[in-house]
Structure 1
Amino acid sequence: MGQTQETESRKLLGRLREALAGSGAGQERLDRITTIIAESMGVHVCSIYLFRDAETLELCATYGLKAEAVHKTRMRLGEGLVGKVARTRRPLNSADAPAEPGFRYMPETGEEIFASLLGVPIQRLGQVLGVLVVQSKEKRQYSEDELYGVEVVAMVLAEMTELGAFLDEGAALAALHQRPVLFRGTTGQEGAAEGRVLLHDPRVVVTNPIGDDPETELERLRAAVARLRVSLDRVLDAGSSGDAEAMQVIETFRMFANSKSWMRRMEEDIARGLSAEAAVEKEQSAARARLARASDPYLRARGTDLDDLSNRLLRELTGQGSDTGAERPENPVLVARNIGPGELLDYGRELKGIVLEEGSVGSHAAIIARAWAIPLVINAPGITTEALTGDPILVDGDNGNVHLRPDETIANAFRDKLAMQAKAQERYASIRREPATTLCGQTVGLAMNAGLLVDLPSLASCGAEGVGLFRTELQFLIRNKMPRRGELARIYGRVMDAADGKRVVFRTLDIGSDKVLPYMKRTEEPNPALGWRAIRVGLDKPGIMRMQLQALIRAANGRPLTIMFPFIAQFAEFRDARAVMLEELEREKRMGHLTPERVEIGAMLETPSLAYAPRQFFEMADFISIGGNDLKQFFFAADRENERVRRRYDTLNVSFLSFIEQIVRRCDETGTPVSFCGEDAGRPVEALCFAAMGLRALSMRPASVGPVKHLLRRSDLREVRRVVEEARAAGDQSVRLALMQYLATLDLSSDPVASDQRATG
């Protein structure tokens, strides 16, 4: 681009800045901007479409189309060429727009006389706010320089839209970051919490997208980059004898920070009229878009590194968020787009709740939230844009709702709910040391699930009899490199020490599907949940499995050891994995190491196929744990990560309960102990049904032990069994309604356990 074009670009941005700084309502500003762009580019039409809601674009201002179409013309996301630009987040440059696939003619706009069209998304760091369109009567392809100019203008519009520059006077009171907002997400972990927002890696707000003087902006950029490089050098020098993997991450940052092409692109953006901050953000958005389209998962993952580097540079330029030691708000609720297990653990257990824009029910964050017994809401789009650190927030994990800056009526109702739950917890504490013995004399063993050493103090306080599932993969997921055998042995040993003689069931490494080790090359699979995961990885990569088994044997230090293998689909897999364990026991003996006084080797039954395994499997297994989360999704062929289907099928479905009963019967035939492990085990009404089906052991999150024990101690399993049998005989699809009616006759209607089940069931 020559000097003339650079001058024109700066001139256009200068006129835009004047329009944005001038007085007038939001509509006046939008109208002024479309006129400036059309006149500066010499085009016949300039139009601005903004999102009215998540799925609807609205024509908010135009120069060249019919004025009466403004605020009347709307289209769905993906509809027409404008909707296509919004959906794909890519520019569309067409010399003959009516001939383009998907073109939609809107007669009310009078656009039929315009042939060419250039549309670019108005977006900020991946969030699309609208579409900017220019059109001309003649058939023409817009040049690279023109495309660049429109993209820069669209970026400035995105910044100003997010800052509320186009809100009318009447709407100003409800501006961004001020009004109450309800976010409807998905339950990742049940529970409720009130607190203040703690933003993870808060976005830097760019308030000056247009530069006054290119030379001044260039000097600011170069000085900030120099400070960034020095800070990275300082971190490397300070940590030269520390964690090598962490140092490699910083070294990667330093490599990016010294990239000449990265610097050159930002300098060119400044020459065209952008401020230093806007130039950094424009390059950040462009890099993110490039890497998102990469086929190599490693390259796609580098987008996080570039985001981190760009955010560091923006903080250098603006001074925002530079005080990393800033005090956290009281009762912090973490709000993030997404977060890894290591980052989440850094925040510690003081968190009252977690809200994520992305995430999944099987993610690392969900696993840790369950272990910490704090509410988690996932898939809450837009919350990181709306929320500010310190904002009041209510997290309703039971229903997947988040109230940001709630009004007093909502807050008071929420506090009443919290008070009722606190009262129930006092009741559960009184039976903590009592057995879960039903009115008919049956005792159900209740264990807790864990995955971190910090979970173990809950063992004494929650009333669990042991750890029915210790997820060993978390120790692998929170590291940047494969842990060593000795390190794992120390961790497992401390877990057994903390359990103080109570039984701990160690599940061997369960990776794959949604759990991908950061240092292991990811295998792209069309359906990871049914792919190369858990025991399949262990048998194909026996070195990792043998190393972990050796660590477990040494951790026991002569004490009893209980392990189970995950995701067994057929007898041969369990037989082969068990043989590896027995070989490692013999090997440890030959080496003179102390071996466990007793070893139990079990399997997780998570696939329907294993319920039909040969009798020899049930005879060989020392115990079986039904992995309810996976078993249910495979039984109903309903992906538990898919919100459209995962709640479609009820756990208390007659068919599923009959299947559980069949598994119990097969285990009883061989005297094989069997338990149920999973989220449903911690739901009191579901737990009651499982016990009625013959299960005498359940494993759940620590916070669920009290509610489950409370309901079991007040119930007669024979009566529950009768209700199930009658519902089955009547051809009912689920026993839930009949069971809730039965519980109502026991005067449990005011019981928080029963009422919560009605709300969430």
Structure 2
Amino acid sequence: MPEIITGLKLSEGIGFGSIFISKRTDIEASDREIDADQIEEEISAYKESIQEAHIQLRKLRENVGEHLDEDSAAIFDAHIMMLDDPGFNEHIINSINNFNNAEKAIRLAGEVYITKFESLDSEYMKARALDVKDICMRLVANVQGVQLTDLTHVDEPVVVVADELTPSASAQLDSKYIKGIITAAGGMTSHSAIIARSLNIPAISGVPDILSKVTHGEDIIIDGFEGDIVLSPTEVEMAAYSEKQKAQEEREEKLKDLIGKETKTLDGINIGLYANIKGPEDLNDVSSNDAEGIGLYRTEFLYMNRMNLPSEEEQFEAYKAVLSDMDDKPVIIRTLDIGGDKELSYLNLPKESNPFLGERSIRFLLKNEEIFKTQLRALIRASEHGNLKVMFPMVTTIDEFNRAKALLIEEKEKYEAEIGKELSEIAAGIMVETPSAAMISDQLAKHVDFFSIGSNDLIQYTMAADRLNEQVSDLYQTYHPSVLGLIKKVIDSGRNNNKWVGICGEMACDHKSIALLTGFGIDELSVSPKKILGIREYISEIKKTDMEQLSESVLSCDSAEDVLYLIEEHLNLT
């Protein structure tokens, strides 16, 4: 009988094949100690392994950049940066000078960095521990002259099953033969997940005992839409999933007919449909899915996965690339948003007992003005190349916004004096992510140029339920009347002051939420580029007037369950 296992969805799609178990190559570092006269020889062996790793990683980067997107290729830029990191190299050289052989010195240094990353609260930074493991394994293998795991010889349809896939192994994936990936560990920010999404390979993780449940060569189906894994499927199941796959492909092809069309309700109301991006590497998806603008450029990714702060010039080039590519379409760039679940290890910031309520986002920037000014200056310089709007994250008071806006104006005036000309005014808005900002949105609207509601954090802070904590996941309620009331208040505050209001986060992608938001009068939705055409189709099938009636009704509900029931009844989903 077939067995169905459910895991965490990392990449959508359906794949068929036989199971290919990828066991991690065990590279054991020798523990032998060395004599004083061997130190130079071991240091030389280490330096040669670094040089060899440079060649290997550049080749991997070139191959990935040629076949995938720049986001996936950038994984190996971070690896190369670590090879060149003075602190990492110094740690290893010192260890060799203390009579450890090169292999052991690499392993000991790796353990220090791995422990540091794994102790962080951020899932993104925890995932970087695998980068360190990968780099250290490569260096030890180079010292030993050992070949690492090779997936390039796979020449038939398979679903790769592993405890975890290193970035190096992920870079070898070929969608011609790799039809799915299942790992015991790894989240949305793991490199295997990033590359799988780039290749449109379905991927599922979070199945701790998966290797004990599968047999090499066994038939398998992976459903990345639902997170289901079907072991030893019957002919009936194979046929059913084939039909599902075919239907999805036909739907995606049909959605392309919407390219070039406005996002408009049945009764003619326009809603802006913008894209969320991490950087220039996402521009192909933005273009191919016909985004009407950039609603959220998450600049923190410029600062993460590296060993130091990005320079003004590096930031300028990244912002310029996006603004230039978007022509005159709006590009909303959010200033550095760290803290909470996003950390920059190289800043060595003090540990906070509750980072989500700590010195994050705009609070950090206002206390670290030089970092803030560098970013603002890069943004101001880039503003000449497109339609820039600057957005400050997690503003809770009018004073925070005014201080941030004053710094933006100050840096703009300095730059204008330098170049001897006046630049166009730069719109400045805020992310509404806290109940405090929502509650004073009518006052804030007199100061800001626009609002963008960060629904994920607004729900979290309103419900006092950490969105990453499974113990309180039942309290993280998107449809709670208190959350909906705050969203309605922000939208009304914007309309009353002639300021447009957008929303990003999971609510902007969910059809039930979109129905409510349309009724509330939202001006813009910002979503993952690949979701744009599907949402455009959905909006074209609903009437704003109908949704207004629904939105009015839900505000008098007592619970999230009642709200959900009303939505489903109104949309004929019951």
TM over 0.5: yes
Residues 445 and 698 in structure 1, CA contact (< 8 A), matched pair in contact too: yes
**1:251 aligned partner, one-letter code:** N
**1:184 aligned partner, one-letter code:** T
**1:477 aligned partner, one-letter code:** M
Query: 2:15 maps to what in 1?
Result: 194
Query: 2:505 maps to what in 1?
Result: 678
Length, aligned pairs only: 535
What SS class does the counterpart of residue 735 from structure 1 fall into? helix
What SS class does the counterpart of residue 255 from structure 1 fall into? helix
Query: 1:57 maps to what in 2?
Result: none
Give the Cα–Cα distance (whole angstroms) in 1 for the partners of residues 171 and 421 of structure 2. Answer: 35
Query: 2:60 maps to what in 1?
Result: none
| Pairwise CA distance, 1:452 | 2.2
Give the Cα–Cα distance (whole angstroms) in 2 for the partners of residues 408 and 573 of structure 1. Answer: 62
| Pairwise CA distance, 1:312 | 5.3
Query: 1:203 maps to what in 2?
Result: 24
| Pairwise CA distance, 1:308 | 5.0
Gaps in structure 2 of 5+ consecutive residues:
56-76, 121-125
**1:692 aligned partner, one-letter code:** G
Query: 1:269 maps to what in 2?
Result: none
Give the Cα–Cα distance (whole angstroms) in 2 for the partners of residues 389 and 292 of structure 1. Answer: 33
Q: How does 1:242-391 map to 2 (within 5 A)?
A: 245-248=82-85, 251=89, 254-255=92-93, 258=96, 305=132, 308-309=135-136, 313=140, 319=146, 321=148, 337=164, 357-358=184-185, 377-383=204-210
Answer yes or no: is 1:185 the counterpart of 2:23. no
Residues 373 and 701 in structure 1, CA contact (< 8 A), matched pair in contact too: no
Query: 1:154 maps to what in 2?
Result: none
Q: Pick one of 448, 454, 462 that aligns with 1:621.
A: 448
Give the Cα–Cα distance (whole angstroms) in 2 for the partners of residues 711 and 698 of structure 1. Answer: 13
Identity %: 26
Q: How does 1:562-573 map to 2 (within 5 A)?
A: 562-573=389-400
Query: 1:556 maps to what in 2?
Result: 383
| Pairwise CA distance, 1:449 | 0.7
Answer yes or no: is 1:505 the counterpart of 2:302. no
**2:363 aligned partner, one-letter code:** R
**2:568 aligned partner, one-letter code:** M
Query: 1:599 maps to what in 2?
Result: 426
What SS class does the counterpart of residue 657 from structure 1 fall into? helix
Answer yes or no: is 1:701 the counterpart of 2:528. yes
Give the Cα–Cα distance (whole angstroms) in 2 for the partners of residues 395 and 402 of structure 1. Answer: 5
What SS class does the counterpart of residue 567 from structure 1 fall into? coil
Deviation per residue, 1:505-542 (Å, 9 max, x gap): 11111112222224221432222222222111111111
**2:48 aligned partner, one-letter code:** D
What SS class does the counterpart of residue 583 from structure 1 fall into? helix
Give the Cα–Cα distance (whole angstroms) in 2 for the partners of residues 442 and 180 of structure 1. Answer: 49
Query: 2:473 maps to what in 1?
Result: 646
Q: How does 1:572-591 map to 2 (within 5 A)?
A: 572-591=399-418
| Pairwise CA distance, 1:239 | 6.0
What SS class does the counterpart of residue 470 from structure 1 fall into? strand
Give the Cα–Cα distance (whole angstroms) in 2 for the partners of residues 200 and 309 of structure 1. Answer: 23
Give the Cα–Cα distance (whole angstroms) in 2 for the partners of residues 362 and 735 of structure 1. Answer: 32
Query: 1:713 maps to what in 2?
Result: 540
Q: In structure 2, do the counterparts of structure 1 residues 232 and 187 end up closer, same or farther at CA, with 3 Å as the change threshold? A: same
Deviation per residue, 1:470-511 (Å, 9 max, x gap): 111112213332221112111211111221221111111111
Query: 2:69 maps to what in 1?
Result: none
Give the Cα–Cα distance (whole angstroms) in 1 for the partners of residues 213 and 250 of structure 2. Answer: 34
**1:192 aligned partner, one-letter code:** G
Q: How does 1:388-399 map to 2 (within 5 A)?
A: 395-399=222-226
Q: In structure 2, do the counterparts of structure 1 residues 548 and 334 end up closer, same or farther at CA, with 3 Å as the change threshold? A: farther
Query: 2:436 maps to what in 1?
Result: 609
Q: In structure 2, do the counterparts of structure 1 residues 558 and 258 end up closer, same or farther at CA, with 3 Å as the change threshold? A: closer
Deviation per residue, 1:442-481 (Å, 9 max, x gap): 2211111111212112223213211111111112213332
Query: 1:692 maps to what in 2?
Result: 519
**1:255 aligned partner, one-letter code:** I
Residues 308 and 346 in structure 2, CA contact (< 8 A), matched pair in contact too: yes
| Pairwise CA distance, 1:255 | 3.3
| Pairwise CA distance, 1:387 | 8.0
Deviation per residue, 1:656-692 (Å, 9 max, x gap): 2222111111222212211111122012221121111
**2:426 aligned partner, one-letter code:** V
Query: 2:563 maps to what in 1?
Result: 735
Q: How does 1:436-515 map to 2 (within 5 A)?
A: 436-515=263-342
Give the Cα–Cα distance (whole angstroms) in 2 for the partners of residues 496 and 200 of structure 1. Answer: 44
Give the Cα–Cα distance (whole angstroms) in 2 for the partners of residues 194 and 542 of structure 1. Answer: 49
Q: In structure 2, do the counterparts of structure 1 residues 487 and 729 end up closer, same or farther at CA, with 3 Å as the change threshold? A: closer
Query: 1:427 maps to what in 2?
Result: 254
Give the Cα–Cα distance (whole angstroms) in 2 for the partners of residues 453 and 463 of structure 1. Answer: 16
Residues 276 and 528 in structure 2, CA contact (< 8 A), matched pair in contact too: yes
| Pairwise CA distance, 1:396 | 3.8
Residues 446 and 465 in structure 1, CA contact (< 8 A), matched pair in contact too: yes
Q: In structure 2, do the counterparts of structure 1 residues 561 and 302 end up closer, same or farther at CA, with 3 Å as the change threshold? A: closer
| Pairwise CA distance, 1:566 | 0.9
Query: 2:67 maps to what in 1?
Result: none
Residues 324 and 386 in structure 2, CA contact (< 8 A), matched pair in contact too: no
Residues 507 and 565 in structure 1, CA contact (< 8 A), matched pair in contact too: yes
Query: 1:235 maps to what in 2?
Result: 50
Give the Cα–Cα distance (whole angstroms) in 2 for the partners of residues 318 and 712 of structure 1. Answer: 58
Give the Cα–Cα distance (whole angstroms) in 2 for the partners of residues 293 and 461 of structure 1. Answer: 40
**2:15 aligned partner, one-letter code:** E
Give the Cα–Cα distance (whole angstroms) in 1 for the partners of residues 119 and 350 of structure 2. Answer: 10
Give the Cα–Cα distance (whole angstroms) in 2 for the partners of residues 738 and 474 of structure 1. Answer: 39
Gaps in structure 1 of 5+ consecutive residues:
1-178, 209-213, 267-279, 750-757
Give the Cα–Cα distance (whole angstroms) in 2 for the partners of residues 476 and 325 of structure 1. Answer: 32
Report the TM-score when normalising by structure 1.
Answer: 0.59
| Pairwise CA distance, 1:437 | 1.7
Give the Cα–Cα distance (whole angstroms) in 2 for the partners of residues 579 and 338 of structure 1. Answer: 47
Residues 371 and 449 in structure 1, CA contact (< 8 A), matched pair in contact too: no
Residues 277 and 297 in structure 2, CA contact (< 8 A), matched pair in contact too: yes
Q: In structure 2, do the counterparts of structure 1 residues 544 and 204 end up closer, same or farther at CA, with 3 Å as the change threshold? A: same
Q: In structure 2, do the counterparts of structure 1 residues 428 and 196 end up closer, same or farther at CA, with 3 Å as the change threshold? A: same
Q: Root-mean-square deviation (CA), in Å?
A: 4.9
**1:433 aligned partner, one-letter code:** G
Answer yes or no: is 1:664 the counterpart of 2:491. yes
Query: 2:240 maps to what in 1?
Result: 413
Give the Cα–Cα distance (whole angstroms) in 1 for the partners of residues 362 and 461 of structure 2. Answer: 17
Give the Cα–Cα distance (whole angstroms) in 2 for the partners of residues 550 and 537 of structure 1. Answer: 17
Deviation per residue, 1:398-451 (Å, 9 max, x gap): 444445776665554333322222222223221222222212332211111111
After the TM superposition, which of the residue ranges 539-548 and 423-432 deviates more from structure 2?
Answer: 423-432
| Pairwise CA distance, 1:609 | 0.8
Residues 245 and 481 in structure 1, CA contact (< 8 A), matched pair in contact too: no
What SS class does the counterpart of residue 391 from structure 2 fall into? strand
Q: In structure 2, do the counterparts of structure 1 residues 374 and 256 end up closer, same or farther at CA, with 3 Å as the change threshold? A: farther
Residues 456 and 506 in structure 2, CA contact (< 8 A), matched pair in contact too: yes
What SS class does the counterpart of residue 93 from structure 2 fall into? helix
Residues 220 and 232 in structure 2, CA contact (< 8 A), matched pair in contact too: yes
After the TM superposition, which of the residue ranges 535-544 and 613-622 deviates more from structure 2?
Answer: 613-622
